[in-house]
A and B are shown apart, each in its own frame.
Chain A
């Protein structure tokens, strides 16, 4: 049979006519539904049943009906009419968020070697905010005021960091909206972000390791924050044993989330990579490659097996309590290597579970039953039965399943419906597979794989909504791809990464790629939390900082032997002092409160040629100290376009010269 152009057109027309009819039908029904809200209970129940047959809830239906573009409605449509799926969770693949509407989720993406965190709204993928962490950042003044500058200096004084794994604090296994913790792989640091203010408020500098890679809380209640030492180095790394890699060591570090003090470390074999926590307050897990303890690529990949290390945290705490450690750089280090005497006891501090090969990601299923380690150089994911770990004689027997998912599996996320999603770096795909089937199938079987979707290109992490908690919502999946290649307009030799949004809420219809998002290098991992899990403040509470609040009329200048302490405030459209006079060489501290009570009215104090940039959100107080070593007139101005009189918002800093200037005025 030969298709003519006309018959094809006719077919296309017919299809679109049917689609249009379907859209209209849905719109009508959603209209009926909104009407029925005011109608009698029975009517509304009828409608609900009718809709439920389609596998959707009313709310989602409304959304599909409201979608602006036909294309969007169609996407929603296919999902809706497909039926099936989890009725509680089902939502349309409607990723359009109209102007003025809010997203359903916050997504916290690490910024890689930009050293920051990006906050996106999902499903729109709009970037909502950036949170500077390990480096100075001028828009928010991070590292420019005394407090944040000292925080960065005390944590090593590095100018940048390499953030990978943003992990939210949890209470009872669910995100509690309190903190976010993130590693620095470039330097041994772990930072804490306060989610009331979306601001980095503490950075721990970790001794005895070179950098921190994987990070996790010890869940369900985030009693500790744990960080993986990846690079093996001599301990202490003071110049000894340079040529003796056998004496290089890797440690697992525990930090108190409240004080951010380093509590203890565990010495391990191999080097640690990624980390996740069990759900019941016992084990945490780290992938551990380079069991060979090699120093080059060949050496690190020689063996077929590396490990997942299970850390028995209460057992380690007992060892610390009992004094079973060595102190190096003020940190108690418990020996958790395979041959350690602590591992000879009935209850070892660490269990080394052999898995193939140079495994990368490890993540625990939402029900807490399994830890899944992605094989990286093996096309498999090893499914570890967590309960079996201390029951089996040989740790390898704790492996309950090992599906063959595809080439280069890196990270696995969950939808809460018993399905897992693993990124395939080499195949440029995400594989969806069934966890229980993987346990039932023979090791190495491809049968548990349900489907695969192409992503563009080479995904590192994927992350599903709330997958890191006990309550995944199962609708959205982010694939954080390392390469965008041809996906965007060219921007010179540096290409953006490509973060792709995939709808996973409809198991019948399968995974649907709905959005490409270019991103600046380079998000490694993400945590996606429903907006109800967070409660950010929109202005500062002065009780949340130590500095005095300087209100209108309380400006003050104190001078004491070459030190000038200035207290003032900022409000549209002025500073509390219209000019400030100091002497050349004075050490000046400028302590400023933004006394605005209106949200979104930020101010800053910029002093040109002094590199001063004090950024102040409403009701925030910060101070900055500098030496007035250039005489002259300096216009202090507000860097935020705060009002119609923003340009007029400025005061003078007058620095009187030590010596009278010479020569006549040129004008």
Chain B
């Protein structure tokens, strides 16, 4: 499981991890896509959206160290950590590989720790991304042509509205791969002690839930006595 998770983390680098869909009355019947990779690369309707961004001075960020595949505006907000984005996943993947090579004696404990670490890392990443989105949204280029657009905070996941444009941010292919990787890890943690094979999982799953429930029920029962 850990091995597979590691592989998924690496594979996800080849796909956009995050996407924004923009709709607006002037694009009747059309959705504009912005797909972001773990490293400074944006695909989709890049030219169209950067044209829109220019109006309000909300530019695609400047990754500082790497040359992105789009034109960086002079006043773009600096986001240097995007340049080392892949390192984040590579490090996590290396951890996963290391665990899968661990001896049977240590693997259960290590896997639990690693899983907790991964959850923390992703929650942290999302939180950090949200902070950065707030900053980018509140540092609009003052020389932008359009007046009257206040600073705003695009959410990491979810919908928002800026001028007459509706945005919706969500995971892209890479993001879903990462989510699967996390789920696999979680499954690994839960079923580590089980003898069940994957084919038996459907039957095993209720048993695991039951086990967990029993444990909680027991604990409550113990406490109340």
Contacts and interface: CB of A to CB of B under 8 A. Distances in A.
Do A and B bind? Answer: yes
B48 A597 contact: yes
Interface residues of B, number: 9
Contacts of A644: 55, 145-146
Interface in A544-562: 552
B27 A598 contact: yes
B146 A571 contact: no
A369 B148 CA distance: 70
B51 interface: yes
Contact of B51 (A571, A599, A648): A571
Contacts of B45: 597
B30 interface: yes
B55 A598 contact: no
B47 A552 contact: yes
Contacts of B47: 552, 571, 595, 597
Interface string B31-59: 00000000000000101100100010000
A645 B145 CA distance: 8
A599 B27 CA distance: 8
A395 to B, nearest CB: 56
Interface string A182-213: 00000000000000000000000000000000
Interface string A512-553: 000000000000000000000000000000000000000010
Interface string A579-600: 0000000000000000101110
B145 A598 contact: no
B103 to A, nearest CB: 57
B56 to A, nearest CB: 11
B48 A598 contact: yes
Interface in A209-246: none
Contacts of B27: 598
A343 B207 CA distance: 96
B51 to A, nearest CB: 6
Contacts of A648: 145
A315 interface: no
A265 to B, nearest CB: 48
A641 to B, nearest CB: 12
A571 B50 CA distance: 12
A563 interface: no
Contacts of A595: 47
Contacts of B30: 598-599
A572 interface: yes
Contacts of A571: 47, 51
B146 A572 contact: no
A644 B146 CA distance: 9
A97 B82 CA distance: 52
B123 to A, nearest CB: 38
B46 to A, nearest CB: 11
Interface in B130-163: 145-146
Nearest to A645: B145
A595 B30 CA distance: 18
A555 to B, nearest CB: 15
Nearest to A551: B47
A593 to B, nearest CB: 13
B47 to A, nearest CB: 7
B129 to A, nearest CB: 29
Interface string A350-392: 0000000000000000000000000000000000000000000
Interface string A593-609: 00101110000000000
Interface string B45-84: 1011001000100000000000000000000000000000
Contacts of B146: 644
A16 to B, nearest CB: 40
Given A552-B47, A599-B30, A645-B55, 11 more contacts: A571-B51, A572-B51, A595-B47, A597-B45, A597-B47, A597-B48, A644-B55, A644-B145, A644-B146, A645-B145, A648-B145
8 contacts: A552-B47, A571-B47, A597-B45, A597-B47, A597-B48, A598-B27, A598-B30, A598-B48
Task: List the 9 shortest-distance A-B pairs measured between CB atoms, nearest first.
Answer: A572-B51, A645-B145, A598-B48, A597-B48, A598-B27, A644-B55, A644-B146, A571-B51, A552-B47
